[in-house]
Structure 1
Amino acid sequence: MCTAATYKTKDFYFGRNLDLEFSYHETVTVTPRNKVFALRHAGQLDHHYALIGMAFVVGDYPLYYDATNEKGLSMAGLNFPGNAHYNKVVEGKDNVASFELVPWLLGQCATVEEAKAMLERINITDDAFSKELQPSPLHWMIADKNQTIVFEQTVNGGKIYDNPVGVMTNNPTFDYHLLHLADYMNASADVPENKLAKGVQFNVYSRGMGGFGIPGDLSSASRFVKVAFTKMNSISGDSESASISQFFKILGSVEQQKGCCRLSYEDDGTPVCEYTIYSSCCNTDKGIYYYTTYENSQISAVDMHNEDLDGSSTISYELVKDQQINYQNKPNAAE
């Protein structure tokens, strides 16, 4: 499963954890303004806003997991199995395949308000990218510095939700997550006060009791509560270093470690585990995409504005996956 979040200091930040049991050959990918997208049912998108994000690129076509455009509008698709429902072509609608949605929206919209207007007319179709790459069941979080929304298409049709907490996980539908969050409205980052029994003396027996009762398991509902609590109570400076450091700490509160979420077992008994393959943080004002990977906790970055944004082919950067360790006491070269 996955978790997405927003964060605002001097600049606005958007990112996510990708939690899966396997990795495609995803890369940090910049799509310039003149890259042509031949859409299945909506004509051709031949000039659009430039994008940067994480994508699996197939034949120069970026299948984006999450992305930000040059105007600062951001979007991430998260797993939504059992609830996502894609349709055949519907007359009178904007028919867009699920894998086309990120470039279709981010290529043409500068704000969430513009995206809302386009989503009102949309029908997500069940077209596959290829025989080998069938549609993934997804819902999407879309954000700019002013507001965040969630878009879901189920058997009941498309639905746009306002997202006041700026986080998202997976199943169930988004309205459930907001309702469930209300169960924790008494949670506080402060030292607990006795509201259970007035006149009875209770001792606070430990530090770290702020947030007492917040769930810590890896289910979608629990991750939603945990990341919402962490994000809404986060404090940092507004420098780039302080901001991105805090953002990765927010995502780190719900990251998945290998072995803790076992989905199945191989024939030899080896567990198949879901884990956090990468975490991302994009400064949407500057167009800088930061990321870490499971075995590399050093932050790497790609700046979209260091590329030719008027080009016509995608530019991809392989992920740095090996751990980068800074030895402060290097061995004597003479030894």
Structure 2
Amino acid sequence: MCTAATYTTKDHYFGRNLDLEFSYHETVTVTPRRKVLPMRHTDALKEHYAMIGMAFVVEDYPLYYDATNEKGLSMAGLNFPGNAHYNAPADGRRNLASFELIPWILGQCATVEQARILLAEVNLTDTAFSPQLPPSPLHWLIADQNESIVFEQTENGTRIFDNPVGVMTNNPTFDYHMLHLQDYMNASARLPENRLAPGVGMEPYSRGMGGFGIPGDLSSASRFVKVAFTKMNSLSGDSEEESVSQFFKILGSVEQQKGCCRLGTDEDGNLLCEYTIYSSCCNMDRGIYYYTTYENSGISCVDMNREDLDGDRLAVYELQKEPRICRQN
């Protein structure tokens, strides 16, 4: 499962946790403007906005998990099993494979409003990238510097939801998460007041009791509430260092540790556990992509503007996974 969020200080930030039981050898990948992106059912993108993000690159094609384009528009695909529904290609619709949606939208759109217009035409197909890579059941968080939306395609068709909290997790559908969030309307970052029995001498016996009841388990519904509470009460300075550090703290409130979400065993009898493989934070205004990995909590970054954005070849950066410990004596 996964969690994605937006955050604003002086600049605007977008990122996510990728929670799975194994890695696909993802890399930080820059797609320049003239890298041809073929599409299975529609015209190839021969020239488009440049973008940076985390991708599994197969046959020189970036299968993006999350990405931000040079205008700041950002997208992340999150697991949506049992709800995501892909169709056969249909006449009169813009037929796209699910793995094409991120580059197709980010390649052409500078704003969420432009993305809304294109998404209204989209029919996500059940087209596999290859026999070894069947379609992943996904829904998407899409954000620019001013607003965010969620795009879902289920058996009932496609839906676009306004996302006023700027966070997203997995199942159920997004409208459920927003309804569920109302169960925690009384939660606060401040100390609670005695509303139960006014006049009776009751005082908080611990700091943090205003958030009593905020869930802490790893389910997608609970992570949605926890990351929304953390993000919407989060404070930091405006510097890049403070902003990026705080964003990773927000994602850290719902990260998954190995051993806490057990999925059974593989064919060799090894225990399978879902965990946070990487966390990302992209400065939407500057095109700088920051990340941490499960093994390495030190922050690494790639700046898309240091690449030849008018080129036609992917720039791919392996993740820095070795632990970094700063020894001070």
TM tier relative to shorter chain: over 0.9
Matched residue type, 2:94:
D
Deviation at residue 43 of structure 1 after TM alignment: 1.2
Structure 2 counterpart of 1:28 = 28
- Count, aligned residues: 329
Higher mean C-alpha displacement, 320-329 vs 134-143: 320-329
Question: Any unmatched runs of 5+ in structure 1?
Answer: 330-335
Q: Deviations over 1:147-167 (max 9, x none)?
A: 000000000000000000000
Q: Does structure 1 retain, via aligned residues, the 8 Å contact 2:27–2:316? A: yes
Q: In the aligned structure 1, how far is the partner of 2:79 from the partner of 2:265?
A: 21
Higher mean C-alpha displacement, 314-323 vs 204-213: 204-213
Q: In the aligned structure 2, how far is the partner of 1:61 from the partner of 1:51?
A: 13
TM-score normalised to structure 2 length: 0.99
Structure 2 counterpart of 1:332 = none
Q: Deviations over 1:265-288 (max 9, x none)?
A: 346764210000000000010000
SS at match of 2:298: strand
Deviation at residue 208 of structure 1 after TM alignment: 2.6
Structure 2 counterpart of 1:233 = 233
Q: In the aligned structure 2, how far is the partner of 1:307 from the partner of 1:327?
A: 33
Structure 1 counterpart of 2:245 = 245
Structure 1 counterpart of 2:124 = 124
Any residues of structure 2 matched to 1:114-153 within 5 Å, and which? 114-153=114-153
Structure 1 counterpart of 2:97 = 97
Q: Deviations over 1:68-92 (max 9, x none)?
A: 0000000000000000000001110
SS at match of 1:323: coil
SS at match of 2:299: strand
Deviation at residue 292 of structure 1 after TM alignment: 0.1
Structure 1 counterpart of 2:3 = 3
Q: In the aligned structure 1, how far is the partner of 2:216 from the partner of 2:201?
A: 28
Higher mean C-alpha displacement, 202-211 vs 313-322: 202-211
Q: Deviations over 1:156-189 (max 9, x none)?
A: 0000000000000000000000000000000000
Q: In the aligned structure 2, how far is the partner of 1:35 from the partner of 1:197?
A: 66
Matched residue type, 2:119:
L
Matched residue type, 1:93:
R
Any residues of structure 2 matched to 1:34-53 within 5 Å, and which? 34-53=34-53
Structure 2 counterpart of 1:190 = 190
- Are positions 1:62 and 2:52 aligned together? no
Q: Does structure 1 retain, via aligned residues, the 8 Å contact 2:27–2:56? A: yes
Q: In the aligned structure 2, how far is the partner of 1:84 from the partner of 1:207?
A: 41
Q: In the aligned structure 1, how far is the partner of 2:66 from the partner of 2:241?
A: 22
Q: Deviations over 1:267-324 (max 9, x none)?
A: 6764210000000000010000000000101000000000000111111000000111
Q: In the aligned structure 2, how far is the partner of 1:315 from the partner of 1:145?
A: 25
SS at match of 1:55: strand
SS at match of 2:89: coil
Q: Does structure 1 retain, via aligned residues, the 8 Å contact 2:194–2:203? A: no
Q: In the aligned structure 1, how far is the partner of 2:4 from the partner of 2:44?
A: 30
Give the RMSD, CA atoms, in angstroms.
0.9
Q: In the aligned structure 2, how far is the partner of 1:293 from the partner of 1:270?
A: 22
Matched residue type, 1:162:
D
Q: Deviations over 1:183-207 (max 9, x none)?
A: 0000000001111122222131112
Matched residue type, 1:220:
S
SS at match of 1:37: coil
Matched residue type, 2:322:
D
Q: In the aligned structure 2, how far is the partner of 1:270 from the partner of 1:41?
A: 40
Matched residue type, 1:326:
C
Matched residue type, 1:314:
L
SS at match of 2:177: helix
Higher mean C-alpha displacement, 300-309 vs 263-272: 263-272
Higher mean C-alpha displacement, 169-178 vs 256-265: 256-265
Q: In the aligned structure 2, how far is the partner of 1:42 from the partner of 1:217?
A: 42
SS at match of 1:215: coil
TM-aligned CA distance change 1:37 to 1:266, over 3 Å: closer
TM-aligned CA distance change 1:125 to 1:266, over 3 Å: closer
Matched residue type, 1:87:
N
- Are positions 1:325 and 2:322 aligned together? no
Structure 2 counterpart of 1:305 = 305
Q: In the aligned structure 2, how far is the partner of 1:196 from the partner of 1:124?
A: 51
Matched residue type, 1:173:
T
> Percent identity, aligned pairs only?
76
SS at match of 2:210: coil
TM-score normalised to structure 1 length: 0.97
Q: In the aligned structure 1, how far is the partner of 2:289 from the partner of 2:24?
A: 19
Q: Does structure 1 retain, via aligned residues, the 8 Å contact 2:190–2:208? A: no
Structure 1 counterpart of 2:74 = 74
Q: In the aligned structure 2, how far is the partner of 1:281 from the partner of 1:236?
A: 15
TM-aligned CA distance change 1:56 to 1:10, over 3 Å: same
Structure 1 counterpart of 2:290 = 290
SS at match of 1:206: coil
Higher mean C-alpha displacement, 127-136 vs 262-271: 262-271
